[in-house]
Structure 1
Amino acid sequence: MSLEWIIKILQNNWPMFLRGAGMTLLISIIGTLIGTLIGLIVGVVRTIPVPEKGGKKGLLKTINMILSAYIEFFRGTPMIVQAMVIYYGSAAAFGIDIDRIAAGLFIVSINTGAYMSEIVRGGILSVDRGQFEAAQAIGMNHFQTMINVVLPQVIRNILPATGNEFVINIKDTSVLNVISVSELFFQTKTISGNNFRYFETFFITCIIYFIMTFTITRILRAIEKKLDGPENYIIAGNQMQVETTEDIAKKINGSVGA
């Protein structure tokens, strides 16, 4: 490895590295957000209690079967194969010409949604059953219970897993180079093909990926700590009592002094 070549490659190609990193972050952020939204919706639907009889039972079972098939398919196949099938397959089978970036966003979003739906479902099931029963006792239906009682807890609990999925997406966007999305790995291949210095070029890319994932990880940990709040809490009632006692003492001292 030559340090001089690394510096030279950076000086000559930094705009391409920057564009590639920007595209990687764009697809990862949007894909993770949409995928998390898909996961929340699928997770909530899959936890709807199925009645013992009636037409609603058959409908819910059918929906659950479709959602289970979606989850198993996208969790059980590589993203690189999904990209080939969705982008090239849609053009060959249906004559649909999808924009490469739109296809990349779609692939990352639905893939993330499949993983996040199971994470959300696990988070919902981890909430104490008594909270569901209490919400139902005051007249809430399933969706009201989810929105007002369960999901606020679930979102906090799944935040580490969501951050982990975001970091995975930053790295996995590299597979989108097979459909010519100009993300970081695609740009790196172009640069290395021009200068034939593969080791130095991909070493730079390795460092860029590390900087992105390390930074995102630290930001997410800071958000988690912020949501957790301070380690030591002051009970509001006690604090109010202390302030009241101090005020009374000041008044008494003032009266005595007068």
Structure 2
Amino acid sequence: MAKIALITGATAGIGEACAHTFAREGYNLILTGRRMQRLERLAEVLNDKYNIDVAISCFDIRSKAQVIENLEGLPAEWKQVDVLVNNAGLSQGLDPIDKGDYDDWETMIDTNVKGLLYVSRVVSNWMIDNGFGHIINLGSIAGKEVYPNGNVYCATKHAVDALSKGMRLDLLSHGIKVTAIHPGAVETEFSEVRFKGDKDRAKKVYDGFEPLVAQDIADTIWFVASRPAHVNINDILIMPTAQASATNIFRQ
């Protein structure tokens, strides 16, 4: 019987790369995101290329009601989830605290913290009932340190770091693994979303050095997910060679 991975934010970047990686390894997939056409196209590609089953669910993880309705509405056989990749997350704006946009704050907190909690609340109970499971949370270097104008985004990723540690403790007696992956600079849609579609400004973030790419993180996630049952990798901080901290990047 094929294993099942549930990946949030699967329509682009790290989530999409994870979908290909787990499909290549024979996992059936539950893919969630807010862009139905991308989910449908990705599901078709994965099914054709890897001959796996794919269930797609289009909803906004910021909505508790949508999360519960869509996930609990899955057939029972799809609730035998082996791996949950809490990938969905974003940053909005890059402003000092006194000039921060209230809507940006709400979006980051609702997506990065509350959305992760809503999904984890549902799926962790499936895993407890099943007697197995592995939750992998996507954090950030921003969850390990702070940088100028990153205030609220950094706070949300610090929350992901803390929640991952808390989950590890709370789910220990159920034999459920918990891992946090904290990337540095990864060239995906991240900066474009942060700067609200300003592609030129987003591109400059990665000028002069070689950043990580989505597949680098997907490979790391697969590594931790594929360890033997007695091995849990709690925490990984992964950076480009050219980056030593959130703000210390060697550019040529």
TM-score interval w.r.t. the shorter chain? under 0.3
More strand by share: 2
More helix by share: 1
Specify the structure having the higher radius of gyration (Cα). 1
Q: TM-score scaled by structure 2?
A: 0.27
Higher relative contact order (CA 8 A, sep 6+): 1
Q: TM-score scaled by structure 1?
A: 0.27
